[in-house]
Structure 1
Amino acid sequence: MTRRQGGSWPAQLRRRVGRADLRAVPEVRRALRDLLGRGDWGEPGSAEVAELLVSELVTNALVHTDDGAVVTATVAPSRLRVEVRDFTSGLPEPRVPVADESTHGRGLVLVQHLADAWGVQAHALGKVVWFELDGGGM
């Protein structure tokens, strides 16, 4: 792992994404990539996995809820934690995608298989879906 140039640990990203604004997905990916130092964080491929997983969670929040979401990513040499909070009740569950659903239904399955840890935390108003990746750092 290389050290973050000109920055200190931990570093944080926080973004509010608007209701049904799917243009926010690539913007959040780019912001996370910048936070991770253009792929310098973690083991080879870790930053790309983080980008994929944040895309899945943000897309889920925007497609399956009636409001926007708040994305928070906190990165340190040894760990990345990404949280996507929405303001709709109902807890998501990974499900086995059906063959004729094309690309739908795979987001949480990807998170479940690629993240080192993940979960859902209910709040009085909404929930947070989160994942963590091990950075292999100090």
Structure 2
Amino acid sequence: MAIGAFSVETVGDNADNAESAGEEAPSPQLKRRLGRADLGAVPEARKALRELLRHWGRPGRSEIAELLTSELVTNALIHTDHDAVLTATVGPRGLRVEVRDFVAHRPTLRVPNADDGTHGRGLILVQSLADAWGVRAHGVGKAVWFELDAGVA
């Protein structure tokens, strides 16, 4: 299914065959290449993620996912001079969102001061609200990711 310039697809070769054979159905996934300094991609990413997560998790979980995705996308576009790739996958363990860029410099988690205004709080939000998060080297760049469980008991 296409959502603007985003695409939502099912990961796996034979979704229909897996369901009929009693196997676990493939995971829905959102994947999008983000253009260099394209801050218009931030609200587009939120909208596409909202569509992907329309029936996912307890109330409030998808909104947290949208906020954290916005932070990672914004960081990738502001702090690098390259394209980035957003991937969001809903699986049996929950949601995993990853934003990969093409700059090896790792982000630094820091406590902002009053002079920073509204800047410098993105990774603090990710650390505070995600069930897990991290940074990993990826080819010539890195991937910053977070995970959220659905929050259902």
* Alignment partners' CA distance in 2, 1:23 and 1:121: 26
Look up the SS of the partner of 1:80 in the other structure: strand
Look up the SS of the partner of 1:109 in the other structure: helix
Q: TM-score, normalised by structure 2?
A: 0.80
**Which residue is equivalent to 2:40?**
23
1:53-68 mapped onto 2 (5 Å cutoff)? 53-68=68-83
**Which residue is equivalent to 1:119?**
134
Task: Say which of 62, 65, 80 aligns to 1:47.
Answer: 62
Amino acid in structure 1 at the alignment position of 2:144: V
Q: TM-score, normalised by structure 1?
A: 0.89
* Alignment partners' CA distance in 1, 2:65 and 2:114: 26
Look up the SS of the partner of 1:20 in the other structure: coil
Q: Is the 8 A contact 1:78 1:137 kept in 2?
A: no
**Which residue is equivalent to 1:131?**
146
Percent identity over paired residues: 67
Q: Is the 8 A contact 2:32 2:86 kept in 1?
A: yes
Q: Which has the higher contact order (CA 8 A, sep 6+)?
A: 1
* Alignment partners' CA distance in 1, 2:152 and 2:26: 12
Q: Is the 8 A contact 1:16 1:69 kept in 2?
A: yes
Runs of 4+ in 1 over 6 A off after TM superposition: none
The gaps in structure 2 that reach 5 residues or longer are 1-24
Task: Say which of 5, 15, 36 aligns to 2:53.
Answer: 36
Task: Say which of 124, 128, 133 aligns to 1:109.
Answer: 124
* Alignment partners' CA distance in 1, 2:93 and 2:107: 28
Q: Is the 8 A contact 1:61 1:86 kept in 2?
A: yes
The superposition leaves residues 46-73 of structure 1 with CA deviations (integer Å, 9 ceiling, x where unpaired) of 0000000000000000000010100000
Number of equivalenced pairs:
129
